[in-house]
Amino acid sequence: MQQVTNLASSAESSADVVSRASRGDTVAFEDLYRQHVGRVYGLCLRMTGHPESAEDLTQDTFVNAWRSLPGYEGRSSFSTWLHRIAVNAVLAKRRSPQGRNEISMTDDAGDQMDFEAHATLDDATPIDVERAIAGLPQGARDIVVLHGIYGYSHEEAAGMLGVAVGTCKAQLHRARHLMRARMGSENAT
Amino acid sequence: MNTIPFGPRNPPEDPLLAKAAELPKEIEPAHDLWPGIAARLSEAPRESRTRTFNWPAALAAGFVVASVSALLTWGLLRDSGPAAPVQIAATQAEDTAIVPVNYGPNSGITANELVVRDELLAQFREKFGQLKPETRDAIVKNLAVMQKAADEIDAALAKDPASGMLKGFLVGTYKQELQLYSSVVTAGDGLARRI
């Protein structure tokens, strides 16, 4: 019973922080930043593979969230709302001339598997799931990150990425195939 | 408001996805990003709480996009008879009037989709100068309507990025833009064959 009370209190407290930030309280917004920065940065890093780009995008995400927060109506959880803003920031960066060069780590065929994302991982360790995901082509990697790691449904991930649900499912199928092949070949050596 | 933590609703059956689901959700950046963010907050204009998305305007814009595009298609087909003047020389001058729709940061339109659009746009530009002046004007106006719709929807998406309906509107605008270019390319081909 105490646990239930604590959970309710925690939810109320978080809602209060969001509400205060929405009214312009930067201290409350910093609280939200501290609570969510790890997830936002993790998402950006996994989608881009570039720590520096991920830092820039994390900053953009929180600045955009600050701008849009007065209009946040709580229809989705705050963290989901924030993640959507982060995904939009990543997609916008990819569309930019700078982003096309900086973030395009692999072509859509997935032929260019060697990119900077590996620099964030320990090269001495055998290939693991994280590295296998980082080596996926962009479209397949996006869906594994959103669906596989962060637990969004195909419908939610499709909505975030602006693609059809069927495309998400096909990309996931492709991703699983590529990951199995890569991890299998690495383990065999 | 709620702060339900996100995560897998159901344990994935695939062992690889199960391992992916076990990966840490949080990765801390190497630097504290807050000072940089805080410095930008004062310069970031905030949206008004009372500002609401103008649904009738967006719906009207979408309707105009559809209507104008359909009329344009009909007009192009009607105008593409043997007497239609070929104005190759006008291509370069008029081409500058063509500004493709700029989709905002919240649109979710992907780089691949823009590549598809740009390829079609290149073909469209080749045909544009062959059109009658009034048809070219209609196209420029039509693109302006699409831009207005895209801007409004993007602004609304900034407030409600979870809205599937808004995403649908935006994808609809993107498709209308492609349809517009495609109509000209197709009609232009017919024109060339007749001549």
What range defines the domain where residue B138 resides? 55-194
Report the CATH number that the domain containing residue A152 is assigned in CATH.
1.10.10.10
Domain shared by A121 and A186, yes or no: yes
Among A9-18, A160-169, B6-15, B110-119, which stretch is predicted with the lowest mean pLDDT? B6-15
Q: Which residues in chain B are closer than 8 Å to A147, comparing Cβ atoms?
A: 17
Question: Rounded mean pLDDT of B46-62?
Answer: 56
Closest CA to B7 of A13, A77, A179, A189: A77
Domain shared by A11 and A37, yes or no: yes
Question: Do residues A155 and A169 touch, judged by C-beta distance below 8 A?
Answer: no
Question: Do residues A47 and A145 touch, judged by C-beta distance below 8 A?
Answer: yes
Residue B72 has a pLDDT of 57
Residue B38 has a pLDDT of 95
Domain shared by A128 and A164, yes or no: yes
User: Which residues have CB under 8 Å from B101's CB, separation 6+?
Assistant: B143, B146, B147, B150, B173, B174, B177
Distance CA A108, CA B110 (A): 13
Report the CATH number that the domain containing residue A78 is assigned in CATH.
1.10.1740.10
A41 vs B: CB within 8 A = yes
Among A159-168, B52-61, B143-152, B170-179, which stretch is predicted with the lowest mean pLDDT? B52-61
Among A20-29, A100-109, B70-79, B173-182, which stretch is predicted with the lowest mean pLDDT? A100-109
Residue A114 has a pLDDT of 38
Closest CA to B173 of B54, B51, B53, B68: B68
Compare all CA atoms of chain A with the CA of B9 and give the residue at the minimum distance.
A151
A73 vs B: CB within 8 A = yes
Could you say which of A71, A104, A137 is where a domain stops? A104
- Yes or no, beta carbons of B161 and A81 under 8 Å apart: yes
- Yes or no, beta carbons of A159 and B167 under 8 Å apart: yes
Among A9-23, A118-132, A169-183, B36-50, which stretch is predicted with the lowest mean pLDDT? A118-132
Share the mean pLDDT of chain B.
72
A181 vs B: CB within 8 A = no
Could you say which of A85, A104, A123 is where a domain stops? A104
Domain shared by A98 and A141, yes or no: no
Position B190 pLDDT exceeds 90: no
For the record, the structure tokens of A156 come out as: 């939610």
Task: Give, in order, the Cα–Cα distances in Å from B180 to each of A9, B93, B124, B170.
Answer: 54, 20, 9, 15
In this prediction the pTM is 0.61
A15 vs B: CB within 8 A = yes
Given B3, B108, B112, which is nearest A14 (Cβ)?
B3
Domain shared by A46 and A130, yes or no: no
Distance CA A48, CA A107 (A): 13
Domain shared by A89 and A36, yes or no: yes
Could you say which of A104, A138, A159 is where a domain stops? A104
Query: In this structure, is residue B96 part of a structural domain?
Result: yes
Among A19-23, B99-103, B106-110, B151-155, which stretch is predicted with the lowest mean pLDDT? B106-110
Residue A4 has a pLDDT of 47
Domain shared by A33 and A57, yes or no: yes
Task: Give, in order, the Cα–Cα distances in Å from A97 to each of A55, A93, B123.
Answer: 19, 8, 21
Domain shared by A100 and A139, yes or no: no
DSSP-derived 3-state class of residue A45: helix
Query: In this structure, is residue B138 part of a structural domain?
Result: yes
Given B12, B158, B160, which is nearest A67 (Cβ)?
B158
State the pLDDT confidence band at B174, using cuts at 50, 70 and 90. Answer: confident
Domain shared by A80 and A118, yes or no: no
For the record, the structure tokens of A70 come out as: 């007065």
CA angle A45, B111, B70 (to 5 degrees): 145
Structural domain total, chain B: 1
Among A45-54, A79-88, B173-182, which stretch is predicted with the lowest mean pLDDT? B173-182
- Yes or no, beta carbons of B24 and A42 under 8 Å apart: yes
Domain shared by A129 and A161, yes or no: yes
- Yes or no, beta carbons of B14 and A58 under 8 Å apart: no
Write out residues 122-161 of A within 8 Å (CB-CB) of B.
129-130, 132-133, 139, 144, 147-153, 159-161
User: Which residues have CB under 8 Å from A122's CB, separation 6+?
Assistant: none
Write out residues 29-68 of B within 8 Å (CB-CB) of A.
29-31, 33-34, 36-38, 40-41, 44-49, 51
Structural domain total, chain A: 2
- Yes or no, beta carbons of A30 and B157 under 8 Å apart: no
What range defines the domain where residue A18 resides? 1-104
Q: Which residues in chain B are closer than 8 Å to A69, comparing Cβ atoms?
A: 46
User: Which residues have CB under 8 Å from B142's CB, separation 6+?
Assistant: B65, B68, B69, B72, B180
